Amino acid sequence: MFTSVIIPAAGFGERMGATIGKQFLMVNDKPILVHTLERFERSTDIQEIVLATQRSSFPIIEEIRQKYSLSKLQSPVEGGQRRQDSIANALKQIDARAEIIVVHDAVRPFVHLKEISQSIETARFFGASIVAVRAKDTMKLASTDGRVERTLNRSSLWSVQTPQTFQRKILVDAYEFAEKHNIVATDDSFLVEQIGISPIIVEGSYENIKITTPDDLLLAELLFNRFIP
């Protein structure tokens, strides 16, 4: 079944405090983005990689494609104001044959091939899947002024990551619905939930961090020394 992956990589990395997008920072001799792209280039479940990035980064992407022989990587798509806009733009460029669409953050290079394949397998059967890990900490619900309102039941809480994988029609319908009703989300699952679909959780690993702040960069250096894809 033809499967495409959308990689949103148009963020500015404000929380990293760097002058370039965090996806272009070097870890273990390569930009973070390249490590992520290599996971999907290597996955036999993926036929096409569609990357959304800022127009000013298009020449870098071309260089990266050649230098690292990324044969599945298509010409980049321009990113938008929010992650959601970047993905909406990428969705328009997906190959007509694609039946399954995976979405994966550019800044999560520690995704295992097994997580990609399990996520795809689950979405094929159930329509939508998300990779997540069990919450480790006790979680509290608080008011905006920081007063605890209640303690949530940890056994039913999950920290959600990517990949998030969908049958094509489900993701397209969810994005159309979100646009029509001005729904804003930080992940794709939320948009799919709005059209009445409940994604299935695929249990992932705590290694699959989103490199966001300078601390994560230090952790990433350590993780690379022991990472087995």
Which residues of this chain interact with ligand C5P, rule CB under 6 A?
8-11, 21, 23, 52, 79-83, 86, 105-107, 186, 210, 212
Contact yes or no for 129/200 (Cβ under 8 A): yes
Please report how close the Cβ of residue 174 comes to ligand C5P at its closest, in angstroms: 17
Helix (H) or strand (E) holding 120: helix 113-126
- Closest to ligand C5P by CB, 3 vs 162, is 162
**In the complex, least distance from residue 56 CB atom to ligand C5P, rounded to whole angstroms:** 13
CB of 71 to ligand C5P, least distance (A): 22
Closer to ligand C5P at the Cβ: 52 or 174?
52
Backbone conformation region of residue 134, classed left if phi is above 0, alpha if psi is from -120 to 50, else beta: beta
CB of 151 vs ligand C5P, minimal distance in Å: 27
In the complex with ligand C5P, the residue whose CB is nearer, 16 or 127, is: 16
Q: Could you tell me the smallest distance in angstroms from the CB atom of residue 190 to ligand C5P?
A: 13
73/58 Cα distance (integer angstroms): 12
**Contact criterion met (CB below 8 Å) for 93 and 70:** no
Render 169-227 in DSSP notation, one character per residue. Answer: HHHHHHHHHHHHHT---SSHHHHHHTTT--PEEEE--TT-----SHHHHHHHHHHHTT-
Residue among 18, 28, 11 at smallest CA distance from 214: 18
User: Least separation, in Å, of the C-beta of 18 and ligand C5P?
Assistant: 12
Nearer to ligand C5P, 37 or 127 (CB): 37
Give the C-alpha separation, 170 to 101, whole Å: 10
> Which lies closer to ligand C5P via its Cβ, residue 11 or residue 163?
11
Q: Which is nearer to ligand C5P, 8 or 204 (CB)?
A: 8
Phi, psi of 192 (to 5 degrees): -65, -40
